[in-house]
Structure 1
Amino acid sequence: MFTGIVQATCEVVSIYKAAGLKTFEVAMTPELTKGLVTGASVANNGVCLTVTKILNDKVFFDVMEETLQLTNLGKTAVGDRVNIERSLTFGTEIGGHILSGHIHTQAKVKSVSNTAEHYNIELEIDPKWMHYIFYKGFIGINGCSLTVGQVSDSGFMLHLIPETLKLTNLSDYQVGDDINIEIDSQTQVIVDTVERILAKKQLVNS
């Protein structure tokens, strides 16, 4: 489990291709690798990956073909920065909201507005996911716990503060790029439960 509070953006220094997977080598800081062991879970752009090797603060992750297809890790190249968060430990402060590291879909950057007053990103997403996205609700964006801005039938806005831009890779994204999306699990459960109850009532009354 994760909190959606990105700890660092780290460079992908190598990508090794093999049958059905790619191995990512990510350069981390000594603070991030302290106590880290093989088998541990680390979120890369919000994707929960397993550490397969650690070598001089370089951390290796095997990314399966399905994950490469479903997330933007499939388009990640050497030199790109990924958002990194180590898994949640008991007793630590939770400043975001609970994320599983399981990406539901990707959203496409529709527009970026960067002025002296604001930094806004407009995202376009498959309309079926908008059932779970609400104004002022929580959402996971590349592993970042963020608040949803204005919504439409096919997308929503993000209003980013300078601290978020400094600590994450969201400022790297341009129009047409894909961003990993994790829907808030509690919202999804509530919406699905209500829709199921309403469907049963309609069936009974029909």
Structure 2
Amino acid sequence: MFTGIVQTQLPLIELDHKSDFASFIFEFPAAMAENLQIGASVAINGTCLTVRTLDVNTEFTRVSFDAIGQTLKVTNLGTLAVGSMVNIERAAKFGDEIGGHPLSGHIMDQVAVLAVNESANNLVVWMQRPEHLAPYLLDKGYVALNGASLTIAEVEADRFSVHLIPETRDVTTFGAVKVGDAINVEVDAQTQAVVETVRRLLATPELLTALAPNNK
């Protein structure tokens, strides 16, 4: 599980891209790699990947991850190149403060950045609101974008916006976001559960009738 509080951004150091498979290597600072083990989960742009190898150095640890074809297709990891910056979050531990909202690291899709409006202390980013995700992208609802837990500020029929404070811009890759970027999306699990439950109820009129107060 992750919290959506991105801990740092790092460049991709090495990439081995094959058919339907890719290996990524990053250099984690010593503090970031503390107690990291092979098999641990790390969110890369919000995508849960498993540590494959560790090469420990006094100043940093080279950490490798593998991604299969489906992951490369659904997420923006398939477009990474050496030097690409990504958001990093280590898996949460029991007892950690949940500063964002609980995330699984399972990306549902990518959306394109449509507009970036920047001022001295605020950054407004408008993104696509595709039809299949629209029911879960609600005004003032949670959403994870490239692994960052954010609150949706405004919703229109085919797009939505988030407002980013300076801290978010400094710590995450959103400080360099631009029109056309593909952003990984994980919708809020609670919102998804409520929406899907209501859909099933509306599709089953007899169940709604059975649950009506007058029938109890």
> TM-score, normalization: structure 1?
0.95
Measured in 2, the distance between the counterparts of 1:117 and 1:168 equals 16
2:63 corresponds in structure 1 to 59
1:89 to 88, 93, 102: 93
Structure 1: where are the runs of 5+ without partners?
Answer: none
2:213 corresponds in structure 1 to none
> Aligned with 2:132: secondary structure?
helix
State the AA in 2 paired with 1:83. N
> Is it true that 1:147 corresponds to 2:163 in the alignment?
no
1:116 to 113, 117, 120: 120
Measured in 1, the distance between the counterparts of 2:20 and 2:155 equals 37
How many residue pairs were aligned? 205
Measured in 1, the distance between the counterparts of 2:173 and 2:192 equals 26
Measured in 1, the distance between the counterparts of 2:53 and 2:183 equals 27
Measured in 1, the distance between the counterparts of 2:46 and 2:160 equals 19
Q: How many angstroms does 1:203 deviate by?
A: 9.3
Identity of aligned residues (%): 42
Question: What is the RMSD of the two structures over their aligned residues, measured on CA atoms?
Answer: 1.5
Per-residue CA distance 1:54-100 (angstroms, 9 max, x = gap): 11311100011111110011111110111000111011111110000
- Whichever of the two has the greater Rg, that structure is 2
Residues 129 and 137, structure 2, Cα contact 8 Å, conserved in 1: no
State the AA in 1 paired with 2:21. L
Q: How many angstroms does 1:140 deviate by?
A: 0.4
Structure 2: where are the runs of 5+ without partners?
Answer: 210-216
Q: Give runs of ≥4 in structure 1 deviating > 6 Å.
A: 202-205
Per-residue CA distance 1:87-114 (angstroms, 9 max, x = gap): 1101111111000000011110000011
